[in-house]
């Protein structure tokens, strides 16, 4: 479904991604794990068009999408939940979700999807008219995910959904991710919390200072000695 | 939907009543020339403040070059009526288009800048426009463009003020307006939602500049003259002050800000040495006690009153 082929990304003189390649197959949860500053978010932002790679190619459903601007990527069926949630703080929960469906013309479908989001996140339904900035961290994460789902993506990019959340909430969020995937949405998940990420993913990639150093099924990686030492705490 | 049209009709009726009342008082000579002048100024300032609010308040792009676009409208419309003998409406439209086109050309490169950087760039551009005009002998250069006929009257400014507010209000409430507000709230998230952020920033900038051009055309055709000194950055600051005072992101706030500040200026006209002092103190007090401006980003509505009186619920909007 998504094929990233040896992309190189620079921030000014800093070589952030050094020939990163990865593949996401339809229906999978793929996770990209790694330490701070390894380039995980950069990879996601390059896929979603917020950053342009210097060279290399990104292919989505057989189409070359390298360098396509971000607002156009959404219409192709890729939706991103940005790092740190980034909800529209001064807008209500409802308005946030409506913006998620910004590119859609089918009012009926949007309404149905809205109902589905509220079913999946009952907490958001309770807080429909509350300003998004006044929600708790976990609720904001749910809103950011719900908002991304409103564009009815085929591929959902999640950037550190566990960031800054209590362990219990992290569990809840990951259960929801699994559930979204079961509903037919392919997921590319970027995480620092390798343990949680590997527990729900099918395939995993390990990113270290801009390079993919390991890849395999999530099961293989979670049993690998090197991974356990570096990311899973022994 | 029916609710909306009903409310529109109500606002239209209110506008007509205000117009009839003021026009009546002018015809009966109850409002003398001094206050007539200030009423015209209030309307022009409302056009300027509401259009600047579209850029600064709703789209979140901090621009302080509004006087430059106003100057373009003022001079171009004057060229149209004086040199080319064209009718006033054509001149206004030409001024608006010219300012809008210039806004578009300037907006494309500069709107990549953010915050303070954009403010400095727009400040500089406003001055460039003014100094360019200052050096064109065809339009009078440093002594100003004289002999402009007084076509502007209360009817014209009121009509165009209502038109401006109507257009910008509807723009804000459309999906385009939502997109602009999402850019203000969080540009990255907006882009990730599929909003073409560059397009909406430039669109808001162009639209705002065009209405500043309208205000400029009305201005020069009221005062018989267009002078470069009328369009210095002090004017841009004046407009910005109205917007901030009323509340960034509130159209009724901008209208109130424009009325209030024009009124204060007029009331203090006989004490020119105190004018700026009181003006400044008012702003300092406001920023200390109400930094979000008089209205914040809320609009004045009947709902607001019902909330004050105890009833009413926060609208789901």
Q: Give the strand pairing for A211-217 and A63-64.
A: unpaired
Total domains in the fold of chain A: 1
Q: What is the largest CA-CA distance in chain A?
A: 51
Label residue B188 by pLDDT band (50, 70, 90): confident
Give residue-wise pLDDT tens across range B97-152.
Answer: 999 999 999 999 998 888 889 999 999 999 999 999 999 999 998 999 999 999 99
Q: What is the pLDDT of residue B313?
A: 41
Residue B314: pLDDT over 50: no
Give residue-wise pLDDT tens across range B259-306.
Answer: 999 988 888 888 878 877 887 888 888 889 888 888 888 887 766 655
B57 or B303, which is more confident: B57
Backbone angles phi, psi at A208, to 5 degrees: -135, 125
**Nearest chain A residue to B316, by CA:** A129
Structural domains in chain B, CATH included, are: 39-233 (1.10.3470.10)
Asked, for residue A101, whether it belongs to a domain, the answer is no
Return the percentage of chain B with pLDDT > 70, whole number: 93
Mean of per-residue pLDDT scores for chain A: 91
**Nearest chain B residue to A148, by CA:** B193
Candidate ranges A69-73, A191-195, B152-156; pick with highest mean pLDDT: B152-156
DSSP letters spanning chain A: -EEEEEEEEEETTEEEEEEEEEEE-TT-EEEEE--TTSSHHHHHHHHTTSS--SEEEEEETTEE-TT--HHHHHHHTEEEE-TT----TTSBHHHHHHHHTTT---HHHHHHHHHHHHHH-HHHHHTTTSBGGGS-HHHHHHHHHHHHHTT--SEEEEE-TTTT--HHHHHHHHHHHHHHHHTT-EEEEEES-HHHHHHH-SEEEEEETTEEEEEEEHHHHHH-HHHHHHTS--
Give residue-wise pLDDT tens across range A60-79.
Answer: 999 999 989 988 999 999 99
Contacts of A141 in chain B (CB under 8 A): none
Label residue A233 by pLDDT band (50, 70, 90): low
Residue A50: CATH number of its domain: 3.40.50.300
Asked, for residue A170, whether it belongs to a domain, the answer is yes
Q: What is the pLDDT of residue B175?
A: 87
Asked, for residue A24, whether it belongs to a domain, the answer is yes
Q: What is the pLDDT of residue B312?
A: 39
Asked, for residue A72, whether it belongs to a domain, the answer is yes
Mean pLDDT for A163-179 is 92
Label residue B69 by pLDDT band (50, 70, 90): very high
Q: Output the CA–CA distances (angstroms, integers) from residue A123 to A112, A117, A119, A156, in the order listed.
A: 18, 10, 9, 21
Task: List CB contacts of A59: < 8 A, sequence separation 6 or more.
Answer: A2, A3, A4, A5, A65
Q: Output the CA–CA distances (angstroms, integers) from residue B43 to A66, B160, B165, B263, in the order listed.
A: 50, 9, 11, 12
Asked, for residue A128, whether it belongs to a domain, the answer is no
Q: What is the pLDDT of residue B302?
A: 62
Candidate ranges A217-226, B218-227, B295-304; pick with highest mean pLDDT: B218-227
Contacts of B190 in chain A (CB under 8 A): 88, 99
Mean pLDDT for A209-224 is 90
Give residue-wise pLDDT tens across range A80-126.
Answer: 998 887 899 989 999 999 999 988 888 899 999 999 999 999 999 99
Residue B232, min C-alpha distance to chain A (Å): 34
Whether residue B314 lies within 8 A of chain A, CB to CB, comes out as yes
Partners of A10 in the beta sheet?
A15
Label residue B1 by pLDDT band (50, 70, 90): very low
Contacts of B58 in chain A (CB under 8 A): none
Asked, for residue A191, whether it belongs to a domain, the answer is yes
Residue A124, min C-alpha distance to chain B (Å): 14
Mean pLDDT for B6-30 is 88
Mean pLDDT for B197-204 is 94
Q: What is the pLDDT of residue B169?
A: 93
Which of B175, B193, B197 minimises the CB distance to A74? Answer: B193
Label residue B316 by pLDDT band (50, 70, 90): very low
Task: Give which of A57, A58, A61 is closest to A1, Cα–Cα.
Answer: A61
Residue A93, min C-alpha distance to chain B (Å): 10
Range of the domain at A225: 2-85+149-230
Give residue-wise pLDDT tens across range A41-55.
Answer: 999 999 999 889 999
Partners of B69 in the beta sheet?
none
A10-43 as b/e: b if 16+ CB within 10 A: eeeeeebbeebebebeeebbbbbbbeeebbbbbb
Label residue B4 by pLDDT band (50, 70, 90): low
Asked, for residue A106, whether it belongs to a domain, the answer is no
Mean of per-residue pLDDT scores for chain B: 89
Whether residue A134 lies within 8 A of chain B, CB to CB, comes out as no
Asked, for residue A175, whether it belongs to a domain, the answer is yes
């Amino acid at each position: 479904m998504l094929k990233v082929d040896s992309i190189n990304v620079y921030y000014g003189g800093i070589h952030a991604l050094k020939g990163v390649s990865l593949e996401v197959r339809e229906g999978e949860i793929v996770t990209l794990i790694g330490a701070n500053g390894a380039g995980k978010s950069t990879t996601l932002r390059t896929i979603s068009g917020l950053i342009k790679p210097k060279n290399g190619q990104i292919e989505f459903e057989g189409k070359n999408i390298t360098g396509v601007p971000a607002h156009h990527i959404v219409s192709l069926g890729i939706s991103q939940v940005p790092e740190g949630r980034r909800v529209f703080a001064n807008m209500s929960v409802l308005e946030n979700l409506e913006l998620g469906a910004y590119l859609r013309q089918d009012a009926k479908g949007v309404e149905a999807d809205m109902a589905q989001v509220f079913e999946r996140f009952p907490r958001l339904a309770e807080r429909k008219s509350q300003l998004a900035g006044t929600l708790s961290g976990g609720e904001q994460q749910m809103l950011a995910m719900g908002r991304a789902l409103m564009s009815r993506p085929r591929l959902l990019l999640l950037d550190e959904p566990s960031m800054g959340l209590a362990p219990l909430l992290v569990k809840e969020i990951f259960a929801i991710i699994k559930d979204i995937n079961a509903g037919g949405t392919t997921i590319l998940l970027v995480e620092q919390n390798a343990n949680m990420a590997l527990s729900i993913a099918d395939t995993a990639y390990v990113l270290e200072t801009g390079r993919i150093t390991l890849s395999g099924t999530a099961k293989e990686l979670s049993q690998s000695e090197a991974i356990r030492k570096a990311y899973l705490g022994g | 939907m029916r609710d909306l049209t009903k409310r529109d009709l109500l606002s239209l009726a209110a506008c007509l009543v205000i117009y009839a009342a003021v026009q009546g008082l002018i015809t009966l000579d109850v409002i003398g020339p001094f206050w007539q002048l200030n009423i015209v100024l209030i309307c022009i300032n409302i056009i300027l403040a509401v259009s600047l609010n579209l850029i600064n308040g709703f789209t979140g792009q901090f621009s302080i070059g509004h006087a430059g676009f106003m100057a373009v409208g003022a001079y171009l419309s004057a060229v149209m009526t004086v040199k080319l003998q064209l009718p006033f409406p054509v001149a206004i439209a030409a001024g608006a288009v010219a300012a809008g086109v210039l806004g578009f050309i300037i907006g494309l490169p500069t709107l990549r800048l953010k915050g303070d950087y954009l403010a400095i760039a727009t400040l500089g551009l406003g001055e460039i426009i003014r100094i360019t005009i200052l050096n064109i002998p065809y339009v009078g250069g440093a002594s100003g463009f004289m002999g402009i006929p007084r076509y502007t009257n209360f009817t014209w400014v009121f009509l165009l003020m209502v038109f401006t507010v109507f257009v910008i209000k509807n723009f804000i409430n459309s999906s385009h307006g939502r997109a602009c507000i999402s850019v203000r709230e969080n540009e990255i998230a907006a882009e990730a939602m599929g909003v073409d952020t560059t397009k909406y920033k430039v669109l808001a900038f162009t639209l705002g500049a065009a209405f500043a051009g309208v205000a400029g055309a009305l201005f020069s055709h009221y005062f018989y003259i267009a002078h470069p000194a009328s369009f210095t950055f002090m004017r841009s600051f004046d407009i910005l002050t109205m917007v901030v005072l009323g509340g960034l992101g509130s159209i009724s706030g901008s209208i109130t800000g424009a009325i209030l500040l024009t009124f204060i200026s007029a009331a203090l006209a006989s004490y020119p040495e105190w004018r700026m002092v009181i003006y400044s103190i008012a702003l300092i007090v406001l920023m200390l006690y109400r930094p979000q401006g008089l209205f914040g980003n809320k609009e004045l509505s009947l709902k607001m009153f019902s909330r004050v009186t105890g009833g009413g619920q926060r609208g789901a909007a």
